Amino acid sequence: MTKVGEKVPIVRSGGILVNPTKDILKEANMMLRVASSPYFVTIMGLLKNHDGHGIIMEYFENGSLKEFQRKYMKCDCWARKVKMVQEIAFGMTYLHNLNPPIVRSDLKLEDVLVGNGFEVKIGDMGLAISRKSSLQNAGSAGTLTHMPPEAFSPRMTQPDEFVDVYSFAITTYELASGSDAWPQLENWNAPIAVWVLGGNRPNLEAIPPDAPAELIDIIRKCWVGEPKQRPIFKDILRYVTELFEDYYERGLRKADRAISEQMDLVQEADETRGTADDGMDSDPWGSLDSDPWGSLEDMSVKDKTVQ
């Protein structure tokens, strides 16, 4: 049970959501379905007031993996990066082995959160769908830079597990390279589909030369154009686990020490400048002290399904 005063992220309904309450409750239900897995953000409660619903989730002080790797992983930390890829693969394997399977359909670094021990968990299940569901205009769902060639086809009516495999490849590429997948394309809405359908993929030369060759090979296998030629997550997890155990398990502590040192350097530089961390909100999560949603009655949703 969440304690008063404990920091938790509060996801508010409203804004750009077409049907705020429905979308928030859909995400809450998806989070409940994966609650038994340690590789997904934990839902801790549900808030409601006159504006709609909000989700209380566990707090991640280190924020998204996108921002974390940009600021703190400019060091020799391949062991931790491979471990993060493994943890994402664990989560996706879990999703795809549910009955019925869940297709996340929009996996990206922005939605992977980093814990205090640098472990990662997958969050934001808003676009996830059950394979028993149908999805109108599925080709427009998700982040354009992470969508596979088949997602741009009007014949696609429902994302499948191979869509997630392609998104995993782009996500792994961005973690390995430390840069966006398509920095050369400024107008995402126009050329990205043409590039991807033409067989183009992000520039592998942007990945540092000391990167594990096996990791690059996994990326190549996962973003091939023909969906059924991509590996399933059960095999991806096996590949990454073998890579980690063979080469990087013993180097994990050293990698984490390098990241911690980088964090100290960045924080010292920020204190010297007298400014907050660039690109990050001062406190985007809120606290149960302030309780912006009003009453916290019936906050716990453990072992319940949101109606």
Do the domain assignments include residue 207?
Answer: yes
152 and 183 together in one domain: yes
97 and 169 together in one domain: yes
pLDDT at site 7: 56
User: 231-254 pLDDT, tens per residue?
Assistant: 999 999 999 999 999 999 999 999
126 and 205 together in one domain: yes
Spatial separation of the C-alpha atoms in residues 159 and 135, rounded to whole Å:
8
Spatial contact of 148 and 162, defined as CB atoms under 8 Å apart: yes
Q: Which residues pair with 55 in a beta bridge?
A: 11, 46
DSSP-derived pairing of the beta strands 10-12 and 120-122: unpaired
Spatial contact of 158 and 133, defined as CB atoms under 8 Å apart: yes
How far is CA 128 from each of CA 11, 43, 44, 135, 164, rounded to the nearest angstrom?
17, 16, 19, 11, 10
pLDDT at site 100: 87
- Which residues, given as ranges, of the chain have pLDDT below 50? 1-2, 4-5, 10-19, 127-128, 130-140, 277, 279-307
169 and 107 together in one domain: yes
Spatial separation of the C-alpha atoms in residues 162 and 186, rounded to whole Å:
27
Spatial separation of the C-alpha atoms in residues 223 and 166, rounded to whole Å:
5
pLDDT at site 294: 39
Residue 21 lies in domain = 1-59+285-307
Spatial separation of the C-alpha atoms in residues 79 and 244, rounded to whole Å:
7
> 241: domain CATH number?
1.10.510.10
244 and 188 together in one domain: yes
91 and 154 together in one domain: yes
Q: Which residues pair with 121 in a beta bridge?
A: 113
The number of distinct structural domains making up the chain is: 2
Please report which helix (H) or strand (E) contains residue 10, including its range: strand 10-12
Do the domain assignments include residue 266?
Answer: no
120 and 238 together in one domain: yes
pTM for the full predicted model: 0.78
User: 255-290 pLDDT, tens per residue?
Assistant: 999 999 999 999 888 888 765 545 444 443 344 444
pLDDT at site 248: 93
Spatial separation of the C-alpha atoms in residues 158 and 105, rounded to whole Å:
10
48 and 89 together in one domain: no
pLDDT at site 302: 39
pLDDT at site 22: 58
**15-30: string of b/e by CB count within 10 Å (b at 16+)?**
eeeeebeebbbbbbbb
pLDDT at site 17: 34
Residue 16 is given by DSSP the state T
